[in-house]
Amino acid sequence: MKRTLLASLAAGTALAAHGIAGAQPATYRLDPSHSFVHFEVMHFGTATLRGRFGPLAGVADLDRSARRGEVSLIIPTRIVSTGLPVLDSRLRQGDLLASSEHPDAYFVARNFVFEGDVLREVRGEITLRGISRPLALRALGFSCGTHPVLQREWCGGDFEAELRRSDFGMSFGLPLVADRVRLQVQVEAIRD
């Protein structure tokens, strides 16, 4: 169920964001080579620590004419990259991402907010370390068209959100490492 929900999130986000594709209900699958979650957190009050999770897996079912759908993303916490292997290993430990016990995080959404035909927000729930909390992804940009190589319908976009890591039991390093984490989600999905 988690895998289906996450896949639906990614695809639905792509479809819901823009009215370019056909108005019939459709299923989209994330392109793992172009789908990642980037994160930023203030480190010791001096500089921003950045990294990314991915590639993501996911699917979305979208009925654009009815402005409804379901999207699901699978975010592999065990595949975290900051550019520093020792830090990546530290982030996967039990008091932070707990990647051994929870190798994946999930985002599932069924509420798309439109302004006209333009997708503005995808509201759903993120599950991290087995703890679920509401999360809204704000659309920074989204469009659909025909994939230049595959010659199939293709959608993609950039989204942003914020969460507090302490809401998910990750209090290690507070307050030296900030509680607020900024997320930037990039997704591209291809119609089945």
Mean predicted confidence (pLDDT) in 64-88: 90
Q: Which residue has the tokens 């999130």?
A: 9
- Work out the mean pLDDT of the chain and round it to a whole number: 86
What's the rounded mean pLDDT across residues 68-92?
93
Both tokens of 130, joined, read 């087995």
User: What is the reported pTM?
Assistant: 0.83
Question: Given a cut of 50, is residue 64 above it in pLDDT?
Answer: yes
Using the predicted structure, report yes or no on whether residue 11 has a pLDDT greater than 50: no
The H-or-E segment that residue 161 falls in is strand 153-164
Stretch among 15-29, 53-67, 107-121 having the lowest mean pLDDT = 15-29
d(CA 75, CA 105): 5
The answer to whether 57 and 74 have CB atoms below 8 angstroms apart is yes
Most trustworthy range by pLDDT among 5-19, 34-48, 142-156 = 34-48
Where residue 54 falls among pLDDT bands split at 50, 70, 90? very high
Give the pLDDT of residue 115: 86
**Strand 26-30 versus strand 47-53 pairing type:** unpaired
Q: For 2-6, 33-37, 58-62, 145-149, which range has the lowest pLDDT when averaged over its residues?
A: 2-6
Distance CA 81, CA 54 (A): 9
The pLDDT > 70 percentage for the chain reads 88
Structural domains present in the chain: 2-191 (2.40.128.110)
